[in-house]
Amino acid sequence: MTPLNGTSPTATSSPLSPVSRRGAELPTPTRWRSALAISLVVAALCLFDGNLDGNEAGKLALARQAVDPGWIPGDWYLNDSQGYQWLFQQLSGRVVGWLGFGPGSLLLRLLGYGLWGWALAGFTVPLGLPPALAALAAGLFSLQQGVVAAEWMVGSAEPKTFAYAALLLAYTAWRQRRWWPCGLYSGLACSFHLLVGGFGVLSLAGLTLLRAGWRWRRPSLAPWTWGFLLAALPALLAVVEQLLGGAAHRRSPPGGACRRRAGSTWCCAIPTTCCPAAGRRATGPGWG
């Protein structure tokens, strides 16, 4: 018997609707196909573009030294802590230590492309874009990503690719009002790249205020906050360490805390805020 609205009780669900199993939402095949198509196109355009060139080589070297302090232990740059990118260092440092820098960078790029493609498919599927058009859009975007300052979202094996992917997942969860995953992905974006995640969280907060004004409900804010704090903990601890280290350095008298270490003069008792050159202070690690 057909209901009054004309639909059959046994009608199949739309291909854009999520498939439920035991109360959990499973990704639809359309999203998998879109993510695969996007990842393949991005890989074809970016995989062999500037391998181990520029910032990628520095980030992977820092990651290798972070997980293996015995690797080139005397290099002052590699011993300059960048704990605010701890999550990326733990992942990429083990990959390049296992495979080497060349193959490791390629594998990390593919992992980043896959995660970014899956996150972007979370936008293209609800818009009704088929996989071919989604891949075409991603390919056109990959050719010219930045508007100013040569900024980019996906490309080399760097923290930005993973941070932007996590941020796209956070926006998808925000649109679906899934506050715990939204906070978790926002925190992961900050742990991969503090600036990308930080500006992304500010954008989410602005969108929320524009949509709901000051009628933001505490039951929605609490799960987002707990998810964010859990996933962003490595970055938050690194920021606190940087702030406390800078304060301790400012309190130390000039020349009073210098000491000798392995034939070099450290200008204070905190090596992460000083350079191994007599009487000179380092500018500290960059945030890029």
Same domain? 215 vs 170: yes
| Mean predicted confidence (pLDDT) in 118-145 | 90
Long-range contacts of 150-153, Cβ-Cβ distance < 8 Å, separation of 24 or more: 153/116
Range of the domain at 132: 27-222
CA 139 – CA 144 distance, rounded (Å): 9
Domain assignment present for residue 108? The answer is yes
| pLDDT interval class at 10 (50, 70, 90) | very low
Same domain? 166 vs 277: no
Question: 197 or 282: which carries more pLDDT confidence?
Answer: 197
Same domain? 126 vs 42: yes
Residues 6+ apart with CB under 8 A from 74: 262
Same domain? 258 vs 143: no
Residues 6+ apart with CB under 8 A from 8: 2
pLDDT digits (tens, 9 = 90+) for 48-76: 988 888 788 888 988 898 888 888 888 87
CA-based nearest residue to 242, from 213, 284, 214: 284
Given a cut of 60, whether residue 278 has pLDDT beyond it is: no
Same domain? 40 vs 145: yes
pLDDT digits (tens, 9 = 90+) for 229-256: 999 888 888 888 878 875 555 555 554 4
CB 282 within 8 A of CB 272: no
Domain end, chosen from 222, 241, 273, is at 222
Predicted TM-score (pTM) of the model is: 0.73
Q: What is the 3-state secondary structure (H, E, C) of 103-151?
A: HHHHHHHHHHHHHHHHHHHHHHCCCCCCHHHHHHHHHHHHHCCCCCCCC
